[in-house]
Amino acid sequence: MNWDDTTDADAAERLVDSVADREDQAVEAALRPKDLGEFIGQEKVREQLDLVLRAARARGATADHVLLSGAPGLGKTTLSMIIAAEMGAPIRITSGPAIQHAGDLAAILSSLQEGEVLFLDEIHRMSRPAEEMLYMAMEDFRVDVIVGKGPGATAIPLELPPFTLVGATTRAGLLPPPLRDRFGFTAHMEFYEPAELERVIHRSANLLEVEIEPDGAAEIAGRSRGTPRIANRLLRRVRDYAQVKADGLITRDIAEAALAVYEVDARGLDRLDRGVLEALLKLFGGGPVGLSTLAVAVGEERETVEEVAEPFLVREGLLARTPRGRVATPAAWAHLGLTPPRSQTAGNGQQDLFGA
């Protein structure tokens, strides 16, 4: 194969992946609840947010700014869309990494309509100059646009129509207090219980016109890491398996067989999770080992291990962070069917783990 053929093949593969991603995004959008009544789980957040929105509508006012924090896939984007729908307002969606200059933010804010909802995902990753401009915009609905440079620079005040900012973050601790304090309502999204995920799966299966038995839904829910987005993704993959390998009906046996093909085990660990655990146990004797070293051992970026695999492994009690590095717990050895070395069961390993 010559270079042109290789290039064409790579381009075709990227095109296929891009089309598949768009199709998945379209399906996810179709599965999103449209109002608070359809939204499953997060009862406290729903109750509090419902009061905020009802009161704003009764006053004929724009809703207070809302900050939603929590792990990816718990419904922050969906809730922002519901806020806009409940207020009968349009929504503008952007993200912190896309706003690297104050001018970027000024351009967005100046084009907002009255009452519009601005959803700012990953708000903790916004640049500091843009962040400082946002303070005034949230509080006074005004921004100062700097014209010129040096001693001759002047600030031109730009009045903004009242709007509602919905900020979403996976790392609320990185938000400076002045920014957090400007939100009228803050909520933390919790991980879902299996029973709640079963309701999510049944609702999605109905929308996708997929037949699923209760034990099939329970099997998928138990491997979904407490996250609706993952539950819906696994449901679609199990649906594919059931259509190709069976009669389309999702039972527990079908769900188990399908998830085995996609390398999702009974606790919800996927290939990356098990790779991290296997490296930690087999290469480093259970630790302690530094995060960068562990990432190199599994062939992944440090950020991928830290932000994708590690939070779930810690939450499941399979891995612990200590001052000396990452350490496997006894549950990790048991999950992979391995025997911990004598030194860890009798000495330093457990001291590092439980004394940190």
| Catalytic choice (229, 233, 239, 274) | 229
The mean per-residue pLDDT over the stretch 85-90 comes to: 90
Q: Which residues pair with 68 in a beta bridge?
A: 168, 187
Span 305-319, pLDDT tens digits: 888 888 888 888 888
Q: How confident is the model at residue 19 (pLDDT cuts 50, 70, 90)?
A: very low
Asked if the model's pLDDT at residue 255 lies above 70, the reply is yes
Do residues 180 and 218 lie in contact, with contact meaning Cβ atoms separated by under 8 Å?
no
Which pLDDT value is given to residue 350? 45
- H or E element at residue 118: strand 117-121
Please name the residues in contact with 215: beta carbons below 8 A apart, sequence gap of 6 or more.
251, 252
Q: Is 31 annotated as a binding residue?
A: yes
282 in active site: no
- The angle that helices 194-207 and 3-31 make with each other, rounded to 10 degrees, is 110
The mean per-residue pLDDT over the stretch 282-305 comes to: 85
Please name the residues in contact with 32: beta carbons below 8 A apart, sequence gap of 6 or more.
78, 81
Q: How confident is the model at residue 32 (pLDDT cuts 50, 70, 90)?
A: confident
| Catalytic choice (62, 164, 169, 170) | 170
Question: In terms of pLDDT, which residue wins out, 136 or 11?
Answer: 136
Q: How confident is the model at residue 188 (pLDDT cuts 50, 70, 90)?
A: very high
Asked if the model's pLDDT at residue 353 lies above 50, the reply is no
Question: In terms of pLDDT, which residue wins out, 29 or 324?
Answer: 324
Q: Is 32 annotated as a binding residue?
A: yes
62 in active site: no
Average pLDDT over the chain, rounded to whole?
A: 83
Sign of CA dihedral 205, 211, 216, 220: negative
Which pLDDT value is given to residue 220? 93
Span 105-114, pLDDT tens digits: 888 888 888 8
| Catalytic choice (121, 270, 273, 352) | 121
Pairing of strands 185-188, 66-69: parallel
Q: Is 140 annotated as a binding residue?
A: yes
Q: Is 149 annotated as a binding residue?
A: no
d(CA 347, CA 350): 6
d(CA 226, CA 311): 12
pTM of the model: 0.79
Do residues 52 and 64 lie in contact, with contact meaning Cβ atoms separated by under 8 Å?
yes
349: exposed, middle or buried (Cβ count in 10 Å: 0-12, 13-18, 19+): buried
Asked if the model's pLDDT at residue 231 lies above 90, the reply is yes
Determine which of 106-110, 161-165, 186-190 has the lowest per-residue pLDDT on average: 106-110
Asked if the model's pLDDT at residue 75 lies above 60, the reply is yes
Asked if the model's pLDDT at residue 65 lies above 60, the reply is yes
128: exposed, middle or buried (Cβ count in 10 Å: 0-12, 13-18, 19+): exposed
Which pLDDT value is given to residue 346? 45
Which pLDDT value is given to residue 355? 36
The mean per-residue pLDDT over the stretch 73-94 comes to: 91
The mean per-residue pLDDT over the stretch 72-76 comes to: 89
Which pLDDT value is given to residue 320? 86
d(CA 346, CA 340): 10
Asked if the model's pLDDT at residue 347 lies above 80, the reply is no
Q: Is 184 annotated as a binding residue?
A: no
Which pLDDT value is given to residue 79? 92
- DSSP states of 88-106: T--EEEEEGGG--SHHHHH
Please name the residues in contact with 346: beta carbons below 8 A apart, sequence gap of 6 or more.
none
Do residues 52 and 184 lie in contact, with contact meaning Cβ atoms separated by under 8 Å?
yes
Asked if the model's pLDDT at residue 67 lies above 90, the reply is yes
Which pLDDT value is given to residue 219? 92
- The dihedrals phi and psi of 176, each to the nearest 5 degrees, come to -70, 145
- DSSP states of 124-183: GGS-HHHHHHHHHHHHHSEEEEEESSGGG-EEEEEE----EEEEEES-GGGS-HHHHTT-
- H or E element at residue 195: helix 194-207
121 in active site: yes
User: 29: which DSSP letter?
Assistant: H
| Catalytic choice (46, 62, 77, 233) | 77
Q: How confident is the model at residue 148 (pLDDT cuts 50, 70, 90)?
A: low
Asked if the model's pLDDT at residue 117 lies above 60, the reply is yes
229 in active site: yes
